[in-house]
Amino acid sequence: MTAEPAALGLDAGPWAARRARAQELRERHPFADELLTLYLALLAVQEDAWSEFRESPPDPEQLPRWAADRVLPAVVQATVAAGPAALRQAASSHLAAGTAEDALAGWLASADLDAVDRYLARASLAPLLEALGERAGEACPVRADGVDGAVCPRCGGLPQVSCVAATGESLVSGGRSLLCARCESSWSCSRSICPACGESGEARLTTYSERWGSDAPPLFPHLRIAGCETCGRYLIEVDMERDPRAVPEVDELVALPLDLHAADQGLTKVTPNLMGF
């Protein structure tokens, strides 16, 4: 019998937790079946890329070429096998166009890409930046525009999701961390400022929980919209006190009803997630 990585004392990474949570949420939320089926297919590709990259990482400056050669074709293959029809066709066309390496380099440099290039670049490169750890910034030549404390200190990326820690005490609120949309690292950020513009006026920082006027229990009791009236931006916020089993980067993917509600309120997400929402 082959020993499991954990038994060998090796770092098995975040993949098992992400996979288990995606499978759980897919069963719980049928509306997210297609999205999470694609996400699970991508996880298999990303885990393999993460493992291979950690064994023999190239110079960070060579990341776009390495990913274009070794990861992107598998991302497209997974997308064709598990993605929606329009994305399957678009992903294949973008790969055939032969401009993949430029798009991947553009994503690392915070360039404005179309939705398909952004999806392919992020799916291909994010696990590699995660594997680089503290060196992720060496592969990202441009820091995103953002206020102090609200841009990833490791790679200069924008936050994807806000996470409030569990404290175990009903009257004590936990601290907030932000999860990077580029390298998946997290860092502390005050709950009293907007991560997009730095607004600190309490009256301008708004939260929307799930209150649709229905007697049915909420779909997402641990999720809310953390918005700002000054800049009109928002993040999905995950309250770990309400659901300690949550995996923020996975739970954020299924919060589409909240994203639609945020759009109705005139808010725009700080950065779209992997699936473009």
How confident is the model at residue 245, as a pLDDT? Answer: 95
Q: Are residues 214 and 117 in the same domain?
A: no
Q: Are residues 125 and 206 in the same domain?
A: no
For residue 52, is it within any domain? Answer: yes
Q: Are residues 62 and 98 in the same domain?
A: yes
For residue 99, is it within any domain? Answer: yes
Q: Which domain holds residue 231?
A: 159-269
Distance CA 162, CA 149 (A): 13
How confident is the model at residue 210, as a pLDDT? Answer: 75
For residue 131, is it within any domain? Answer: yes
Q: Are residues 112 and 28 in the same domain?
A: yes
For residue 77, is it within any domain? Answer: yes
Q: Are residues 123 and 163 in the same domain?
A: no
Q: Are residues 133 and 23 in the same domain?
A: yes
How confident is the model at residue 79, as a pLDDT? Answer: 98
How confident is the model at residue 212, as a pLDDT? Answer: 58
Q: Are residues 118 and 180 in the same domain?
A: no
For residue 20, is it within any domain? Answer: yes
Average pLDDT of the chain to the nearest whole number: 91
How confident is the model at residue 1, as a pLDDT? Answer: 38
Residues of the chain with pLDDT under 50: 1-10
pTM for the complete prediction?
0.91
For residue 275, is it within any domain? Answer: no
For residue 10, is it within any domain? Answer: no
Number of domains in the chain: 2
How confident is the model at residue 176, as a pLDDT? Answer: 94
The residues, ordered by sequence, that sit 6+ positions from 29 with a Cβ below 8 Å of its Cβ are: 219, 254
Q: Are residues 163 and 135 in the same domain?
A: no
How confident is the model at residue 218, as a pLDDT? Answer: 83
How confident is the model at residue 199, as a pLDDT? Answer: 93
Q: Where does a domain end: 77, 107, 139? A: 139
For residue 146, is it within any domain? Answer: no
CATH of the domain at 209: 3.90.1670.10
Distance CA 22, CA 235 (A): 20
Are 110 and 122 spatial neighbours (Cβ–Cβ below 8 Å)? no
Q: Are residues 186 and 220 in the same domain?
A: yes
